[in-house]
Each structure stands twice: as C-alpha cells, then as structure tokens.
Amino acid sequence: MKPYQPNESLMDGIKILQALAGSKDPVSCTQLSKDLQIEITRVNRILKTFAHIGITHRTSSRKYIPGSGLHVLGAQSIYGSGLLQSSIKTLRRLTELNLVVGMGVLWMDKVSFIFHWEPGIDFEDAIGRVSLQPATISGIGMVLLAQKTDQDITKLYQKKDIPGYGNDLGKLLADISQIREQGYSRVLNNPSKLNIAVNIGSPGYAAIALAGDIDDTNEQLYVDKLKQAVQIIEKAPS
C-alpha cells in the first residue's frame, strides 16, 4: 500500500541507484532520465548528491558508475540479511543435480539473482553473475509474484507490455493462481528446458530454482528436492 504523502525524491533516488547498479557500463544522466521517465535535472541533482557521499562516482566522460559506498551497502545488505550465508551449503548440494541452480529476490517487476550456477562454471562464479531479469519469464519471479495480491499485480503491470504475455494480464493472473494452488512455479523457457521454483519464507522473501532437462516424469522429484532445500535454509543460522 502506498503511504500517505510518500517521499518522491527518495523513491526516485532508489530507482536511479537500482538502474545504475544493474548496468555493466557507465550511465549518463540523459539515459537514466529517458529509461526511468524522471526529469533530467532531478536525475542530475540526485546523482551529484550520491557522488558527494561516495554512493556513485562520476567518470571523466561525465557518466556515472557505482561508487565505493554502494559496494559497501551491498556487502552490508548481504551480511545483514544472512540469506547467502544460510543458503550457500545447500545451494552447493543442489549443483550436484547437474541442473541450473538459482536463488533470487523480487524487486518491483524484476528478479535480482543472488546466485546463478550452471554446469561447467566454478561454484564461486555463480555469485552475482546474472543481472536483473523480467519476473514473468523466470520461475523465481513467478513464484514470488504469486505472493502478491491480484490487485497489486494488476497495478504493477497495468498499461505495460508483459514479457512472455504481451498485454494479456488475464493469462498472467491465471498462471499466478495456478502457482498458488500447486505451491511452486513452472516456466517453460524453451521446448526442452523447464524452470521450477519454490519460495523461501512465508510469505516468500526469496526463492530457489532448478532449470534444465526436467520432464513430467521427474518434475515432482525436483520440486521435492527444492522444498527440502528450503526447509534446510529456513532452519540454518544466519
């Protein structure tokens, strides 16, 4: 629920930081203004304020990158939440299934992956290797969207093109309803790759997923493995 008289400057500042943190390349005020639909002088003022306290850094080309303060904030967030520490051993065991293993959280209509491993890469390289992804094409995104009410989902996607659904909000809500009933999400990324995900917490604040060659004969097996992993993570000391 939107608060009475919300602080619009704070909200815009967080949107700007999110966009900056999710970009591999330096970003200009003009690009941020265009992408976020925020007036350019406001973007410029916010970024200069962040640069003053070390949250952002202005390059010689007058573009912006994350500053040391943002990296410190990221490290403090990971430490404070305890999510990665309580999950890391369980995630390692899941990689033994030789499927893609992911863990992420929902931010507005995007999934932020804290961990994303696939066969062939080192386990350590799975931490923070994937940027934001539309929630509606991700198993993690869909199972976390299912934690929201239909009203909240409608507000989130009204007047927007919905990745994977076009403008068919009704189909999205129907799929969300099915996820709530079955207790996990299943997203078919291509004809041979199924993505399944289960919430961590109640209500869910994060989710873990498996993806790969999963068919009807072994789907429930992997759902059960995810649910067992969730139980271990939820009981682990943070």
* 95-to-90, 124, 133, 225 alpha-carbon distances in Å: 9, 12, 21, 12
Q: CA nearest 28: which of 59, 50, 55?
A: 59
Q: How confident is the model at residue 142 (pLDDT cuts 50, 70, 90)?
A: very high
pLDDT for residue 41 is more than 70: yes
For CATH 3.30.450.40, list the domain ranges present in the chain.
Answer: 82-235
Paired tokens of 121: 């890469």
pLDDT, one tens digit per residue, over 60-98 is 899 999 888 887 877 776 666 677 788 889 999 999 999
Which positions ≥6 away from 212 have C-beta within 8 Å?
98, 99, 100, 193, 194
Average pLDDT over every residue of 52-66 = 91
How buried is residue 35: exposed, middle or buried, by Cβ count under 10 Å (0-12/13-18/19+)?
middle
pLDDT for residue 101 is more than 90: yes
Please say whether the structural domain 82-235 has been given the CATH code 3.30.450.40. yes
Whole-number pLDDT of residue 190: 67
* 76-to-57, 73, 163, 196 alpha-carbon distances in Å: 19, 5, 32, 30
Q: CA nearest 197: which of 182, 216, 181, 184?
A: 184
Paired tokens of 41: 């002088």
pLDDT for residue 137 is more than 90: yes
Q: First and final CA of the chain: distance in angstroms? A: 29
Whole-number pLDDT of residue 157: 92
Phi, psi dihedrals of residue 138, rounded to the nearest 5°:
-125, 135
Paired tokens of 3: 């608060």
Whole-number pLDDT of residue 9: 87
Whole-number pLDDT of residue 5: 73
Segments in 82-165 forming alpha helices (H): 83-94, 139-145, 150-157
Whole-number pLDDT of residue 202: 86
Please say whether the structural domain 8-71 has been given the CATH code 1.10.10.10. yes
Q: Which helix (H) or strand (E) holds 163?
A: none
3-state helix, strand, coil in the chain (%, to 5): 50, 20, 30
Whole-number pLDDT of residue 79: 62
Instruction: Say which residue the tokens 């804290």 belong to.
Output: 114
Q: How confident is the model at residue 191 (pLDDT cuts 50, 70, 90)?
A: low
For CATH 1.10.10.10, list the domain ranges present in the chain.
Answer: 8-71
Whole-number pLDDT of residue 45: 93
What gap in Å lies between CA 191 and CA 208, rounded to an integer?
22
Whole-number pLDDT of residue 184: 95
Coil, strand, or helix at residue 55?
coil
Is the model more confident about 79 or about 132?
132
Whole-number pLDDT of residue 8: 87
Whole-number pLDDT of residue 108: 84
pLDDT, one tens digit per residue, over 144-187 is 999 999 999 999 998 889 999 998 999 999 999 999 999 999 98
